[in-house]
Amino acid sequence: FWDAVVTCFFLDTAHNIVEYIEIISKILKSGGVWINLGPLLYHFADSYSPDDEMSIELSLEDVKKVAFHYGFELEMEKIIETTYTTNPRSMMQVRTVKVSNISLAASEKDIKEFFSFSGNIQYIELWSEFERSQIAYVTFKESQGADIAMLLSILGAPFQFFMDAGSNYS
């Protein structure tokens, strides 16, 4: 058994994050400490096929609930900016957001109007996704626009949609 376990940019590599937390709880001594640093950027969201193991991707709040279930107590919670998302020379400078499940009634103008508060839009690609919805890739001139768009999406829009970070398009 261990006095402490430190996980750094590790939890989101799990297909089953619940299993990871359970194992960490089992290898700690009574009164042991688990220190975790890292995002929940899950690596398996788009890689599922019938032969693959299903990925369990929990929100931060749900991760905390699972940890509490296994006897962990939250002593300190802190957000730390890391260089891989803030370094201008980093490869993780996402400027494009993928917007899916957009109503067919929504136009490129509607999408541009909604996201214009996030930053300067370089361009928008709008495609039919299924018979009843569209998909859009909104590319900003700066990565900060994509970050703000992700936050703004929480506030709602005049059309129903789901959004995530897309690939960068040039």
CATH number at residue 148: 3.30.70.330
Give, as one character, the DSSP assignment of residue 43: S
Do 63 and 110 share a domain, yes or no? no
- Name the percent of the chain lying above pLDDT 90: 21
Do 69 and 126 share a domain, yes or no? no
Sheet harboring 133-140: ordered strands across?
121-130, 133-140, 96-103, 162-165
Do 21 and 64 share a domain, yes or no? yes
Is residue 16 assigned to a domain?
A: yes
Which region among 57-61, 68-72, 129-133, 164-168 has the lowest average model confidence (pLDDT)?
Answer: 164-168
- State residue 93's pLDDT score: 64
Total domain count for the chain? 2
Do 62 and 100 share a domain, yes or no? no
Do 10 and 64 share a domain, yes or no? yes
Tell me the pairing of strands 2-8 and 28-37.
Answer: parallel
To the nearest 10 degrees (0 to 180), the angle between helices 17-27 and 60-69 is 40
How many C-beta atoms lie closer than 10 Å to residue 67's C-beta? Answer: 19
- State residue 168's pLDDT score: 45
Do 70 and 102 share a domain, yes or no? no
Is residue 18 assigned to a domain?
A: yes
Do 76 and 6 share a domain, yes or no? yes
How many C-beta atoms lie closer than 10 Å to residue 161's C-beta? Answer: 20
Is residue 137 assigned to a domain?
A: yes
Which residues span the domain enclosing 47?
2-80
Do 104 and 156 share a domain, yes or no? yes
Task: Dump pLDDT digits (tens) for 32-74.
Answer: 999 988 777 665 544 555 555 667 778 888 999 999 999 999 8
The whole model's pTM is what?
A: 0.48
Which region among 25-39, 45-59, 98-112, 127-141 has the lowest average model confidence (pLDDT)?
Answer: 45-59
